[in-house]
Each structure stands twice: as C-alpha cells, then as structure tokens.
C-alpha cells in the first residue's frame, strides 16, 4: 500500500490506473478507523481493482467552537487497518495541500442542507461537498462508498453527483453498530463510561418509534413526541439537537408517513454529538 500526502501524486497514480482500464474505488474518511470505516473499505474493495482510502480531517466542515482540534487521530494505526482491508493507496494530506490560502470556491446543495444537521451546522455540508468534489476530481473514481449513518450527507452527495453529471457510482452502506445497538462513530471516544452505558437508548427509541408507525401511527408529531419522551426517560443527561421525520431523498420534513420516511436524531451527550436514523416503511 502506498501512503501519500500530496495531491499531485494522488492524481498521477489514479490517472495511471484508469489508463490501464482498472476500476478505482474511493472511501473518503476523517480517520480514527472503527469497524464502520472498515466495512466501507471491504464493500468498496469488492467492487474495484484499486482502492483509495482518504484520511483528512477537513477543516471546512467544522464550525466555530466545534471539535476540529480535538478530533481523535492515529495515523499509524489507521494505516495498518487500511492495509489490512485491501487499500492500495492511503491519501493523508495536510490542510494546506487541499486548500490554498486564498481558497474561494465552494460546492453546496442548499435545498437538502436546510434541515437536520444543516440547521445547527450551517456551513457543514458546504465543506463536505467541496472536499468530496476535490477528492472526486483528484481520483476520478468509478465508485465511492459512504455510510448511511450520515444519511443526509449521503443524500446531498447523491444529488451533487446527479446535478453535476459526475461519472461516479455513489454507494451507501448500512450503519454498523456495536452489539448493544450504538452506531459506530469516531466521536464515541468522547463518551464517559456512564454516557456510553446510556448511548444505546438512542437506537432503542428509534426501533420503538418504527414499531409504533408499523402498528398504524403515521402522524409525525406523535412519533417525534414519543421519541422525545423515551429519550427523556432513558437518557435524562442527554440534550436532543433534533428529532425529525423527513423524506429520505429530499430531506424535507413530512407531517405523516405515506409510504416511507426517515426518522433522524442528533443527541448531545457530554462532549459527544451522536447521530442516528431509521428508515420506516408502511403499507
């Protein structure tokens, strides 16, 4: 596995692979790998000839007073894990390699970024779209894999690719969880033992809400209020950032479940901000 840090080297290597007719897969990450990241790599590996994993804590997707400086990292550990899971190249640049001092160009999909995480983090998805677009331009991948835990991000990137006619197949991978249901996240490292004990109640509340919908309750306000009450009972130390029901594709709020809906939550628990979601379908 090659480990490089300069954009020119990444672009040159991927162009050589494509010139040979090889299929290039891409897994963009911010590092501190867990089993969720590794599942993305395994999935991409199964669909490509050459796998590129990127490790870049992208400063433009962090807002003021967020955890950019504290974000966990361990490059040597991550390098070994990427190698173990079939990466042919690990791209780990410094911020100055990705952004010029006078960087002034942005990519965004504002209609899909109004709600959920975009409401409390108004510049977040602009940073995500911009860095992912740069990685697409550098690697020209045939396929790129992202996790469904960040469902809104996945929907935004799919729309970006569609609207800009980018020739890449965006693949979403199901959420990878701990045995007790907690969605894997690098930010889980922020949880204290007591907080970690309570964190799985997010998933349990979502499962109960889906069951409620499948039993006939389709009113979004009722379902959201049910989740809020359950979190209040089981996680009194937590502070919900949002509890929403949206259309899975447009990420626009809906008042009732007609066919399918995404229930998405973000919860602040100590130093961690945890997100999770569940897709519900009713007849």
Is 125 one of the annotated binding-site residues?
no
Is 13 one of the annotated binding-site residues?
no
Nearest to 55 by CA among 155, 135, 158: 135
Q: Which residues contact 80 (CB under 8 A, 6 or more apart)?
A: none
Is 61 one of the annotated binding-site residues?
yes
Is 12 one of the annotated binding-site residues?
no
Is 127 one of the annotated binding-site residues?
no
For 42-55, the DSSP string reads HHHHTT-SEEEEEE
Spatial separation of the C-alpha atoms in residues 154 and 180, rounded to whole Å: 25
37, 43, 124, 142: the catalytic one is 37
At residue 280, φ and ψ (nearest 5 deg) are: -120, 140
Is 181 one of the annotated binding-site residues?
no
Is 35 one of the annotated binding-site residues?
yes
Is 245 one of the annotated binding-site residues?
no
Is 176 one of the annotated binding-site residues?
yes
Please give the distance of CA 274 from its chain centroid, rounded to a whole number: 12
Whether 85 is catalytic is: no
**21: burial class by Cβ within 10 Å (0-12, 13-18, 19+)?**
exposed
- 3-state DSSP call for residue 282? coil
Is 114 one of the annotated binding-site residues?
no
Check: CB of residue 235 under 8 Å from CB of residue 204. no
Is 42 one of the annotated binding-site residues?
no
Annotated binding site for (R)-pantoate: 61, 153
Annotated binding site for beta-alanine: 61
Annotated binding site: 30-37, 61, 147-150, 153, 176, 184-187
Which residues are tagged catalytic? 37
């Amino acid at each position: 596995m090659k480990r490089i840090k300069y954009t020119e080297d990444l672009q040159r290597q991927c162009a050589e692979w494509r010139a040979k007719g090889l299929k290039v897969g891409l897994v963009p990450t911010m590092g501190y790998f867990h089993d969720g990241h590794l599942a993305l790599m395994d999935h991409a590996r199964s669909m490509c000839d050459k796998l590129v994993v990127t490790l870049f804590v992208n400063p433009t997707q962090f807002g003021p007073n967020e955890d950019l400086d504290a974000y966990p990292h361990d490059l040597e550990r991550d390098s070994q894990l990427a190698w173990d899971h079939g990466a042919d190249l690990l791209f780990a640049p410094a911020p100055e390699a990705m952004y010029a001092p006078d960087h002034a160009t942005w990519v965004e999909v504002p209609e899909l970024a109004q709600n959920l995480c975009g409401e409390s983090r108004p510049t977040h998805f602009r940073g995500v779209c911009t860095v992912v677009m740069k990685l697409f331009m550098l690697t020209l991948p045939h396929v790129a894999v992202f996790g469904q835990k960040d469902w809104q991000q996945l929907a935004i990137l799919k729309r970006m690719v569609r609207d800009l006619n980018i020739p890449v197949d965006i693949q979403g991978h199901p959420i990878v969880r701990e045995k007790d249901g907690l969605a894997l996240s690098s930010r889980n490292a922020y949880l204290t033992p007591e907080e970690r004990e309570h964190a799985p109640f997010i998933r349990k509340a979502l499962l109960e809400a889906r069951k409620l919908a499948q039993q006939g309750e389709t009113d979004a306000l009722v379902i959201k209020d049910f989740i809020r009450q359950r979190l209040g009972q089981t996680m009194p130390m937590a502070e919900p950032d949002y509890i929403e029901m949206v259309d899975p594709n447009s990420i626009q709020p809906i008042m009732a479940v007609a066919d399918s809906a995404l229930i998405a939550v973000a919860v602040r628990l100590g130093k961690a901000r945890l997100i999770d979601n569940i897709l519900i379908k009713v007849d």
